[in-house]
Amino acid sequence: MDADLVINLMLGALKIALLVAAPMLLFGLVVGLAVSVFQAVTQIQEMTLAFIPKILAIMISLAVFFPWMLQIIVAYTRELIINMNLYIGKI
């Protein structure tokens, strides 16, 4: 196994990780910004007001995007398993 193959495998894994995490992170960011603006406008400084909506948004985005995320992860894993003999042959 040469360095190029390892680097390509790691780049693919990082790309998949970022792609899978992006919807949840974006939903958390949007809800966090909305709650922050609401807190600034109303001058309410309650910690649970900032924390609970973000958790709910992330859980909802996970429920909505889970089939898509699972499809991406399964496709990457299938590609790794199918090409396993190429990886082993280069040792």
Cα–Cα–Cα angle for 13, 33, 72, nearest 5°? Answer: 20
Q: For 62-82, what is the mean pLDDT?
A: 95
3-state secondary structure of 83: coil
Q: Domains in the chain: how many in total?
A: 1
Q: For 61-70, what is the mean pLDDT?
A: 96
The values of phi and psi at residue 46, to 5°, are -100, 130
- Residue 20 pLDDT class (50, 70, 90 cuts): very high
Distances (CA, A) of 29 to 35, 76, 83: 10, 27, 37
Query: In which domain, by residue range, is 41 found?
Result: 3-89
d(CA 10, CA 43): 46
Q: Taking 60 as the threshold, does the pLDDT of residue 91 lie above it?
A: no
Query: 70-84 burial string, b = 16+ CB within 10 Å, else e?
Result: eeeeeebeeeeeeee
